[in-house]
Amino acid sequence: MTITHQPVVLTSSSIGGRDEEVVEANAAIIDAMRKAMLRLEDMSPVAVRSCLVDFYLSQALDGGFAQYAVMAGGRIATDPLVREGMAGMGAAAHLDLFNRAAEAYAVLTDGTAASYLAGGTDDTGAVNRAVLRIEELDGEFEELLEHENITSLNARWLRGQPDLLVLDDEEVGPYIQRLAAMALEDAGTGSVRSGAANPF
């Protein structure tokens, strides 16, 4: 049995809770799916993008865009999913800021990013300007959170999915196990899968 498009899954204990609880529940379910060796195409596209936007938020809050850039690893795959998630949930201002921060950080990618992240300095004017620009944008990020609550937008996006599946907490594990079994069956029968890498 080939796995088809999967819905967003939330728990009954989180669906009526605070926005943070909804976003965290989605992230926990995606993490459980990853640990069950499910691949991106076996998960809800909305749920994956929601999880990555929340990952970006947590990293940016802790250490700015530079920390996100390092912790995200393969940003060629991750950045587009973050952008799609922000667009999908209506976080237009955060998307604009993300794009500007990514552009500024790109100046540091030729061997200078590691030194910057380690607290080093560089005499190159372009790099120094890029560092100042990133720090300015990090400050803008903190101000923006007060005007565009990305966690609330994320939770509303998840709750508003037309195919939302709400499970009791004890039903989540068996549900993921069934998906994993279906994925193994697909692999055993030679079903064509896209081979998308897991960016988490």
Domain count, the chain: 1
Which pLDDT does position 122 carry in this prediction?
A: 54
Q: Is residue 152 part of a domain?
A: yes
Q: Is residue 121 part of a domain?
A: no
* Ranges of the chain with pLDDT below 50: 1-3, 190-199
Q: Is residue 85 part of a domain?
A: yes
CA-to-CA distance for 84 and 82, rounded, in angstroms? 5
* Domain of 36, in residue numbers: 9-91+148-189
3-state secondary structure of 171: helix
Q: Is residue 105 part of a domain?
A: no
Q: Is residue 115 part of a domain?
A: no
What would the pLDDT profile of 144-159 be if each residue is shown by its tens digit?
999 999 999 999 999 9
**Residue 8 burial (CB count, 10 A):** 24
What would the pLDDT profile of 157-177 be if each residue is shown by its tens digit?
999 999 999 999 999 999 999
Q: Is residue 124 part of a domain?
A: no
Q: Is residue 136 part of a domain?
A: no
The region, left, alpha or beta by phi > 0 then psi within -120 to 50, assigned to residue 161 is beta
Q: Is residue 135 part of a domain?
A: no
**27 Cβ contact partners less than 8 Å away, ≥ 6 residues apart:** 50, 51, 54, 55
